[in-house]
Amino acid sequence: MKHLFLALFLMAGLSGMAQAQLNDYKYIIVPKKFDGFKKENQYQTSTLVKHLFTQKGFETAYEDDLPFDLVANRCLGLTVYLIDDSSMFTTKASLKLEDCLGKEVFTTQEGRSKIKDFKDSYNEAIREAFNSILALNYVYSGKAENTDPVTVSFRDDVKRLEAGTGQAPKPKNSNAMVEQQATTENQLYKDRRPVPSDFTKGEEKREMVKQMATREQQRYEDKTPQATDKSVVPIANAKPREGVLYAQETENGYQLVDSTPKIVLRLQKTSVPNYFIAKGDDASGTVFEKNGNWYFEYYVGDKLVTEMLEIKF
């Protein structure tokens, strides 16, 4: 009987820890094709997993259709993986949740099915594995969105006074401006401080306007510097994107369309002026204004790509 109570106590403790961990995350990211499968949503595995997590109260998203806040902070979500250990006659499946750093946060029990039809078999095994999630009381805590301010203290950087003197040590300066000696043997005083010069710098005279007005010649030259609109310096290595994009205001920002018109990018406002979270069909990143130009930055693998945009608001 003692062993039974101990086992139940340990199971309850582990369940509570797992629940607390999952409460820190807002989203479940579902791949459209799990590892080991040849097609997207094969045997309806992806849609089933997404449906089960949504029913449990999680916010879910496919990996290629993430909401804006998840694009900006991937650590708001956990990615679900289907662990398939099926044998010839038995379908075995469990679900593993990993954070944005690839660290395992939670793994369900293994579900099993001996149904011959693959679709029905995976359905039964996944639902049995999901019982581990159903046992948890998930409520998003918002912890992943809260960041504590960093406090910088310089208390330990104060240099100590030399022991016994009560005064800070005087630095030795070999290039002192004034050198003095006052002893019985030596009387010395040298002042190396700079002496103001009597010479003044001549002012450069620049002729701004030159005129000639005679019967033979009529000429007027204005040499006053003129303002130019070419002072804007673009970001180095930024490649210009072809075509003009037209900004259409939306509830949370803008959508950029081309002349087709086709929506090229969707922009969502941030707390920084002229800085937007951007999402397109081919890439997602940020759109911002710098030095009078607009740029779209995103990653292709590990490489940062910067494009210069021509936007008409």
pTM: 0.46
The pLDDT of residue 260 is: 84
In a domain, 219, yes or no: no
The pLDDT of residue 149 is: 42
Give dist(CA 253, CA 263) in Å, integer: 14
Q: Which of 104, 128, 144 is the last residue of a domain?
A: 144
Secondary structure in 3-state letters for 205-251:
CCCCEEEEECCCCEEEEECCCCCCCCCCCCCCCCEEEEEEEEEEECC
Which range marks the domain in which residue 40 is found?
Answer: 14-144
The pLDDT of residue 184 is: 57
In a domain, 305, yes or no: yes
Helix (H, G, I), strand (E, B) or coil at 155: helix
In a domain, 266, yes or no: yes
Task: Identify whether residues 139 and 30 lie together within a single domain.
Answer: yes
The torsion angle over the Cα atoms of residues 78, 29, 10 and 83, rounded to 10 degrees, is -120
- CA 62 vs. chain centroid, Å, equals 20
Residue-wise pLDDT for 156-196, tens only, equals: 554 444 444 445 555 555 555 656 665 656 666 666 677 66
The pLDDT of residue 151 is: 46
Q: Which of 144, 176, 207 is the last residue of a domain?
A: 144
In 258-302, beta strands by DSSP E: 263-269, 275-280, 284-290, 293-300
Residue-wise pLDDT for 229-243, tens only, equals: 444 556 767 888 888
Give dist(CA 15, CA 133) in Å, integer: 10
* Average pLDDT over all residues of the chain: 79
The pLDDT of residue 237 is: 75
Residue-wise pLDDT for 252-304, tens only, equals: 999 999 988 789 999 999 999 999 999 998 889 999 999 889 999 999 988 99
Counted domains in the chain: 2
Per-residue pLDDT band for 202 (boundaries 50, 70, 90) equals: low
Residue-wise pLDDT for 6-22, tens only, equals: 444 434 444 545 666 89
| Residue owning tokens 């989203």 | 27
Q: Which of 144, 166, 194 is the last residue of a domain?
A: 144
| Residue owning tokens 């149904």 | 115
Q: Which helix (H) or strand (E) holds 77?
A: strand 77-84
Give dist(CA 98, CA 93) in Å, integer: 16
The pLDDT of residue 69 is: 92
